[in-house]
A = this chain, B = another copy of it.
């Protein structure tokens, strides 16, 4: 039971999901490929943290829908009571930023322009997401779901994503303002 497996339990604590859906949903918080997810789910099933049901589909391939067990909920509660380990961030742009002076400003600008676009696209997606999440429970954008609401977790995470995205955009724009257009 490593961090990723607790992440899967966390997602399963809200809804039952297939391995494929778990893989898609965990991306924003703990990127992982399906090749890592599937064997881990098999292990967690053996450990009785999750169970699965085979769902036959006519239009799409059949799937295994996983659910968290009572034992899984207990594991989740125990995990929540110990402090979270420090976040790990690896960003190639930070490594490049340190030595941008070695190339022409036009080349440097490209790095930050493409990253800026990346964050602008993400911001749009998060904005739409927060609207759909809130409206799914009949809430508007001025409402905050209560602590015991099933939306609470998703809501605070989406707010974090929005704040982070805006800060990154602000930083990219500032960097572009201090890199000359040409020399």
Residues of B within 8 A of A24 (CB): none
Determine whether A61 belongs to the interface, using a CB cutoff of 8 Å to chain B. Answer: no
CB pair B111 A96 closer than 8 Å: no
**Which candidate, A33-41, A42-50, A85-93, A133-141, is the interface stretch facing chain B?**
A85-93
Do A31 and B88 have beta carbons less than 8 Å apart? yes
Residues of A that sit less than 8 Å from B by CB? 3, 6-7, 9-11, 13-14, 28-31, 73, 76-77, 79-81, 83-103, 105, 107-108, 110-111, 114-115, 118, 144, 147-150, 152-154, 156-157, 159-160, 163-164, 166-167, 170-171, 174-175, 178-180, 183
Contact A83 B110 (CB under 8 A): yes
Cα-based distance from A76 to B97 in the complex (angstroms): 12
Residues of B within 8 A of A84 (CB): 91-93, 96, 111, 114-115
Chain A, interface SS category: helix
A73, B174: Cα distance in complex, Å: 27
A95 touching B29 by the CB < 8 A rule? yes
Contacts of A87 in B (CB 8 A): 89-93
Given contacts A111-B80, A111-B83, A111-B84, contact A29 B153 (CB under 8 A): no
Which of A6, A10, A76, A150 has the largest number of chain B CB atoms within 10 A? Answer: A10
